[in-house]
Every structure is written in C-alpha cells, then in structure tokens.
C-alpha cells in the first residue's frame, strides 16, 4: 500500500484530522472541486494530501461542515468557580471546557471553527490562538453588545456564508455523536436540527415535543411537573440552515430557543429533533460542575484527559476555627493516597499546601485535609452565603467519593 493510500485509509477510519496540521501549507479546496490526484509513485505533496484527505472525510464521514462555538458567557451562576475567568475557560480534567468541545468537533471531522465571544474575549483568543495546536482553524467574532444566542451567531454570518453549519455551546460538556446529527440533518433537510438528550429531571431545561417522524411540534421552557410531557431536552447543539438565519435580525438581541425556533414553527418551517446517545451536561452551577468532573473521572463522560492530570477537584475550604464553615467528612481507605491524587489539581489552581490544600477566591475559600484520628478527609467551604458554601461542600464530597472508588 502506498503512503497516500495509507493516509487515505487512516482518514476514513477517523484516525487523522489533518485539516489544521497542513493548513499552513495548503488552502482548503472549494466544495465540490476535485483536486488533481497524485500518482501513487509520485513525490509526497502536502497540498495534494491535504485536499484528498478533506474530500475523503467529506465522503466517508459526511462532516465537511463549519461550526460556531457560542463562547460569550460570563458564568455568573457558576461563581465562585469562574471568578474573573470566562466560563469557556473553566478547567475540566486539566483542559478548558471549550477545548474539550474543539476536540469533540475535530473527532467528527469538523475543523473550520469560529468562536462567538463577548466576555473577556482576549483571554480566550490568547489561549487558543489560531487553533493550530489543536489541529483546527479557529476564527473569532466579538459582540460589542449582548446579542443573545442567535444574534451572536448572526454576527458570524461572514464565516458561515451560504451553507448549513453546526452550533454548539463552549461551556457545556458532552460526547454525543455529532456525525449522527449531521447525517440526519442532511437526509431530512429541515430549517434546523436540534440535538435532544433524555433527562429524568427536566425542570431546569427547555423541552422539545416531537411527532412520530421526529419533527418538533412545540417547545416548553423550564416547565413544572404539570407541564412535563417529554423527557427530551434541548442541548443547545444545532445544525442551522442559512434560510433559518434570515429570520434573525442584525445587531439585535435574539435567542434560538425563545425567539427563532418558535418563529420558524409559526411560519411552517420544519425543525427536526434528533435524540442523541451519549453524555451531555449544562455546566451551570458549582454542583453540576463537580458532578461533571466526577463523571469524567468515572468514565461516564468520554473526554480526553490532560496528561498527568488525576482529578479536577476544588476541595472545600474548611477553616476549623471558623464557625461559618460548611463541612463534610469523606471516609476513605487511604488518606495520603487520596490527597496525592488531588494534589496536581490543587497545585495547578494555585492552592496553598502548608495545611492541607487551601484555595481562596473572590468571596469563597475551599479547603481539604486529612483528619488525624480516623480514615477521613475533612472537606469544608466558606462563601458569601451559607447556601453556596453548603453546595460547594456537598459537591466536593461527591467528587472525593468518586475518586475514592477509583483508588479501589
């Protein structure tokens, strides 16, 4: 087998993502344009390899599609974890959440990406740069005023042009099958396709009621139990057609779920709902954040862990002399080993380690340390209010329990 054929076979199997690797040497071919094929015995030509791989991925995976990452969130509900950090840069097992999203897109053959930014855009741009290190081509568009989800994507119109494109949040954790979503959209050609996930407690989410053919009949935003008629929730992952975006006004605040999708239904457009297997979590609160970390460590969430990273624990701050501390004791078989497991995470976050691990932020303090008289870790939290402190302590205790299971 020639080198070219080996590369082509590897691309068909999804082993390679060459779009970013050779971007500096060769431009992308125009859609539908067949590059000149390279003779099997000819010289190794990076331009030809790059073009052939792109066409091969388009043929075998069907994901020759651009993507827009909605990454403008400040993450107010996630404080104090975020602090001044943009929500897409919050670490999840050693990588920013948005980096996991980029890697997910790349695994499904999507390498032309634009990030829609608003809050602290330079922080995100400085971290990801051109995307070359992650094997993608990454552009940015910055909102000057709040435009909402659909308005922020409309601000990227010069990027997506006249072709259908994928929209995904840069601050959610998921491993769902994007290839399946794209295939269904191409097969059915609706105005928009929405990825749906089953949720046993769907009250915090928007629900999508679908007919037998999978087309969405109605949206129900954050219902009470009397109005729960389905367990399928809107994940915020969409494939959008340009004709749908024609209904979005320019430079105005406009939302996909609240504004665009109801308008499209009223005008008789088809919206396809695709139930997706896999993991999805809206990282909106400290509790959901720590649950997501635990799910990643347990393997429930399939993501690429950073090398050498063991646990993304933000332990809870417990000053034993402070009466306002909320704390919990976590039983374990090997206190020293469990502390070692979480050490890299605390050190990366700049924690003090003179007395257990102590992490201080704007309005909160977290601490975790082993107790001397029994096989337990003391996990404690202090925050501006008791409810937040309790939530932090509870979430960290949950994560410590997951880590303890991994030690067995």
We report the CATH number of the domain holding residue 105 as: 3.90.550.10
Q: Do 39 and 157 have their domain in common?
A: no
What confidence score (pLDDT) does residue 391 get? 72
Q: 60, 78, 109 — which closes off a domain? A: 60
Residues 6+ apart with CB under 8 A from 235: 172, 174, 176, 194, 195, 196, 197, 276, 280
Question: Please, what is the end-to-end C-alpha distance for the chain in angstroms?
Answer: 46
How far apart CA 140 and CA 219 sit, in angstroms, is 31
Q: Is position 296 within any domain?
A: no
Cα dihedral sign, 323-326-327-328: positive
3-state SS class at 22: coil
Q: Do 44 and 114 have their domain in common?
A: no
Q: Helices 3-12 and 46-60: crossing angle, nearest 10°?
A: 30
How far apart CA 162 and CA 45 sit, in angstroms, is 31
Tell me the pLDDT of the chain (408 aa) as tens digits: 333 333 233 322 222 222 232 222 233 333 344 334 333 334 434 344 444 444 444 444 445 799 999 998 777 777 777 777 888 998 888 889 999 999 999 999 899 999 999 999 999 999 999 999 898 999 999 999 999 999 999 999 999 999 999 999 998 999 999 999 999 999 999 999 999 999 888 888 999 999 999 999 999 988 888 888 899 999 999 999 999 999 999 999 999 999 999 999 999 999 999 999 899 998 888 888 888 888 988 889 988 766 433 323 333 333 433 444 567 777 777 777 777 777 766 776 777 776 777 877 767 777 887 777 677 778 887 777 777 777 777 777 777 766 666 555
Active site residue ranges: 222
Residues 6+ apart with CB under 8 A from 207: 219, 220, 221, 223, 228, 229, 230, 231, 232, 233, 234
How far apart CA 395 and CA 50 sit, in angstroms, is 46
Q: Is position 210 within any domain?
A: yes
Q: Is position 37 within any domain?
A: yes
Q: Do 26 and 140 have their domain in common?
A: no
What confidence score (pLDDT) does residue 186 get? 94
CA angle 264, 270, 272 (to 5 degrees): 115
Q: 60, 82, 98 — which closes off a domain? A: 60
Helix (H) or strand (E) holding 400: helix 386-407
Q: Do 34 and 158 have their domain in common?
A: no
Domain span at residue 237? 66-282
Residue 220 backbone dihedrals phi, psi, to 5 degrees: -125, 110
Q: Is position 51 within any domain?
A: yes
DSSP-assigned beta bridge partners for residue 23: none
Q: Do 144 and 221 have their domain in common?
A: yes
Omega into 164 within 30° of 0, i.e. cis?
A: no
Q: Do 180 and 101 have their domain in common?
A: yes
The alpha carbon of residue 170 and the mean position of all alpha carbons in its chain are separated, in whole angstroms, by 5
What confidence score (pLDDT) does residue 316 get? 36
Q: Is position 295 within any domain?
A: no
Q: Do 369 and 400 have their domain in common?
A: yes
Q: Do 172 and 39 have their domain in common?
A: no
Q: 60, 83, 103 — which closes off a domain? A: 60
How far apart CA 289 and CA 118 sit, in angstroms, is 22
Q: Is position 290 within any domain?
A: no
Question: What are the distances in angstroms from CA 108 to CA 52, 65, 101, 104, 341?
Answer: 17, 10, 11, 7, 32
Q: Is position 302 within any domain?
A: no
Query: What is the count of structural domains for the chain?
Result: 3
Q: Do 117 and 225 have their domain in common?
A: yes
Q: Which residue has the tokens 């002399």?
A: 321
Q: Is position 292 within any domain?
A: no
Q: Do 104 and 16 have their domain in common?
A: no
Helix, strand, coil percentages in the chain from 3-state DSSP, rounded to 5: 35, 25, 40
Q: Do 33 and 125 have their domain in common?
A: no
Q: Do 75 and 11 have their domain in common?
A: no
């Amino acid at each position: 087998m020639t080198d070219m054929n080996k590369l082509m076979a590897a691309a068909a199997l999804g082993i390679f993502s060459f779009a970013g690797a050779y971007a500096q040497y060769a431009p992308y071919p125009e859609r539908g344009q067949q590059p000149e094929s390279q003779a099997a015995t000819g010289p190794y030509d990076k331009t030809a390899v790059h073009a052939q791989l792109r066409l091969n991925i388009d043929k075998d995976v069907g994901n020759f599609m651009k993507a827009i990452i909605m990454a403008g969130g400040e993450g107010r509900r996630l404080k104090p974890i975020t602090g001044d950090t943009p929500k897409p840069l919050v670490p999840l097992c050693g990588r920013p959440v948005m980096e996991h999203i980029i890697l997910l897109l790349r695994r499904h053959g999507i390498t032309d990406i634009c990030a829609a930014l608003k809050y602290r855009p330079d922080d995100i741009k400085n971290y990801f740069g051109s995307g070359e290190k992650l094997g993608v081509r990454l552009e940015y568009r910055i909102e000057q005023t709040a435009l909402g989800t659909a308005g922020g994507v409309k601000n990227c119109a010069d990027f997506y042009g006249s072709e259908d494109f994928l929209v995904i949040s840069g601050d959610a954790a998921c491993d769902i099958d994007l290839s399946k979503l794209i295939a269904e959209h191409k097969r059915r050609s609706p105005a928009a396709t929405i990825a749906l996930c089953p949720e046993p407690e769907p009250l915090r989410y928007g629900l999508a009621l679908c007919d037998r053919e999978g087309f969405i009949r109605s949206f129900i935003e954050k219902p009470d139990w009397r109005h729960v008629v389905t367990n399928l929730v809107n994940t915020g992952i969409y494939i959008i057609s340009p004709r749908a975006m024609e209904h979005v006004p320019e430079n105005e605040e406009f939302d996909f779920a609240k504004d665009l999708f109801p308008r499209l239904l009223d005008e008789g457009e088809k919206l396809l709902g695709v139930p997706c297997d896999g993991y999805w979590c809206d990282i909106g609160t400290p509790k959901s954040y720590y649950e997501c970390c635990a799910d990643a460590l347990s393997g429930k969430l399939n993501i690429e862990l950073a090398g050498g990273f063991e646990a993304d624990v933000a332990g809870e701050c417990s000053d034993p002399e402070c009466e306002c501390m909320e704390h919990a004791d976590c039983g374990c078989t090997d206190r020293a080993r469990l502390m070692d497991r979480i050490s890299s995470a605390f050190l990366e976050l700049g924690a003090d380690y003179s007395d257990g691990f102590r992490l201080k932020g704007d309005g909160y303090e977290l601490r975790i340390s082993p107790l001397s008289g029994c096989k337990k870790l003391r996990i404690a939290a202090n925050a501006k209010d008791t409810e937040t402190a309790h939530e932090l302590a509870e979430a960290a205790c949950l994560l410590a329990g997951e880590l303890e299971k991994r030690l067995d």
